């Protein structure tokens, strides 16, 4: 049997995979077992923000392996403490807890929000339609995409969903039992919908007035993806809880939940824990990732390349009849089509050795490594124009 046949025989078949077996990566390129080279504009769904085998990340992995792979969280390690300090400084919040994934980060955010809210008898959540916050039971409960919930109900109770960018409906959904609101500033799985400036600021103002916590899910939008280290900084607000993962670990499994002091104060000894969260190896790597990406010049470059990408798409792809809208921030870009053909388009791009993603039913998702070059953006735009013209 070949690798694909082995996988199909032994691995739980929950992924609709494209037929490639990748064995090596370098920068923005992946190489399959036959030596074919693919231009990667999905970056492991936003994980490989610095591309494959970034030399400084590889160096940090090797140094970490030479020092400490893992000890329990019953003891202190330098890299964990320094990473917590760095995330607090970058986020403007106060305390950090390390986990292994985005779902875990959101699960902890919901637990902490409910514990804080229950001081006043509040336990409900408000989330956005089409949102995606993870696959664990709590995170799934505030996910607005019904297809992910099939067969898993009942989930946690007290969750209401409102349309993105509808401040009036949002305010109407709040009750005396609302503990927290959770949202993504760009819905990575939900059609790449970008939240309006007025909506985000309005949500923050209303929640502050009513002492309702605001959780910003930065799993996909964070760590430089939108041209800021966290996307909420575009809106000039400060949430009560921030969750992040994906790009934070430089390709290794890593997540974090960041709290304001008032929320952190309700999480006492034994309130939460993790065996692997924040181990010495992963935190050393994450420190290096943050050192590189949080650089002001690096982030400015991401913003400029994102502007170029969207404008080039508008000029070359946006004029096609099949294209409805091009949107995004930084290097998180969506191309919405008028027909449900995104899987077919992604397949055609795959055949042309370019990897892209899907979002919702109509939107193509582009999450290139943040180190992408302008000429590589040009290749993808021209290839997409050719592919879409066929439809």
Mean pLDDT score across all residues of the chain:
97
Distance CA 219, CA 133 (A): 8
Model confidence at 59, pLDDT cuts 50, 70, 90, reads very high
Model confidence at 27, pLDDT cuts 50, 70, 90, reads very high
- How many Cβ atoms sit within 10 Å of the Cβ of residue 147? 6
Distance CA 14, CA 355 (A): 20
Strand ranges inside 273-339, DSSP E: 323-329, 332-337
Provide, for the chain, the percentages of residues in helix, strand and coil under a 3-state DSSP scheme, each rounded to the nearest 5.
40, 20, 40
Fold classification of 3-53+296-390 (topology level) = 3.90.1150
pTM above 0.85, yes or no: yes
Q: What is the pLDDT of residues 96-117, one digit of tens each?
A: 999 999 999 999 999 999 999 9
- Yes or no: say if 346 and 354 are a contact pair by the CB < 8 Å rule: no
pLDDT at 119: 96
Q: What is the pLDDT of residues 170-200, one digit of tens each?
A: 999 999 999 999 999 999 999 999 999 999 9
| Domain ranges for the chain | 3-53+296-390, 56-293
Considering the domain 56-293 in this protein, what is its CATH number?
A: 3.40.640.10
R_g over Cα of the chain = 21
pLDDT at 240: 98
The SS3 of residue 204 is helix
Cis peptide before 367, with omega less than 30 degrees from 0?
Answer: no
Three-class secondary structure assignment of 342-378:
HHHHHHHHHHCCEECEEECCCEEEECCCCCCCHHHHH
Average pLDDT over residues 126-130: 97
Distance CA 47, CA 42 (A): 9
């Amino acid at each position: 049997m070949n690798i694909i046949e082995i996988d199909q025989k032994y691995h739980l078949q929950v992924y609709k995979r494209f037929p490639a077996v990748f064995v090596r990566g370098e920068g923005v390129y992946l190489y399959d077992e036959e030596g074919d080279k693919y231009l990667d504009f999905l970056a492991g769904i936003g994980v490989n923000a610095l591309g494959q085998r970034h030399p400084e990340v590889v160096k940090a992995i090797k140094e970490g392996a030479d020092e400490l792979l893992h000890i329990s969280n019953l003891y202190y390690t330098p890299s964990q403490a320094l990473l917590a300090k760095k995330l607090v400084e970058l986020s403007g919040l106060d305390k950090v807890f390390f986990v292994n994934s985005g779902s875990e980060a959101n699960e902890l955010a919901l637990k902490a929000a409910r514990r804080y809210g229950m001081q006043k008898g509040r336990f409900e959540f408000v989330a956005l339609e089409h949102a995606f916050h993870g696959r664990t039971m709590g995170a799934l409960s505030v996910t607005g995409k019904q297809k992910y919930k099939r067969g898993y109900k009942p989930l946690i109770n007290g969750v209401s969903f409102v349309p993105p960018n509808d401040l009036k409906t949002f305010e109407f959904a709040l009750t005396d039992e609302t503990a927290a609101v959770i949202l993504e500033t760009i819905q990575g799985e939900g059609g790449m919908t970008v939240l309006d400036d007025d909506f985000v600021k309005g949500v923050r103002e209303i929640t502050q007035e009513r002492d309702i916590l605001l959780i910003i899910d930065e799993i996909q939008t964070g760590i430089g993806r939108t041209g800021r280290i966290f996307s909420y900084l575009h809106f000039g607000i400060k949430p009560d809880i921030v969750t992040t993962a994906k790009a934070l670990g430089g390709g290794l499994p890593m997540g974090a939940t960041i709290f304001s002091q008032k929320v952190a104060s309700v999480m006492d000894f034994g309130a939460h824990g993790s065996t692997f969260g924040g181990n010495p190896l992963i935190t050393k790597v994450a420190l290096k990732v943050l050192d590189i990406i949080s650089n002001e010049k690096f982030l400015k470059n991401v913003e400029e390349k994102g502007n170029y990408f969207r404008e080039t798409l508008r000029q070359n792809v946006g004029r096609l009849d099949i294209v409805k809208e091009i949107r995004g921030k930084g290097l998180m870009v969506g191309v919405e089509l008028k027909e449900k053909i995104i899987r077919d388009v992604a397949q055609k791009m795959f055949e042309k050795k370019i990897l892209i993603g899907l979002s919702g039913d109509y939107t193509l998702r582009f999450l290139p490594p943040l180190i992408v070059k302008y000429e590589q953006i040009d290749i993808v735009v021209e290839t997409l124009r050719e592919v879409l013209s066929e439809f």
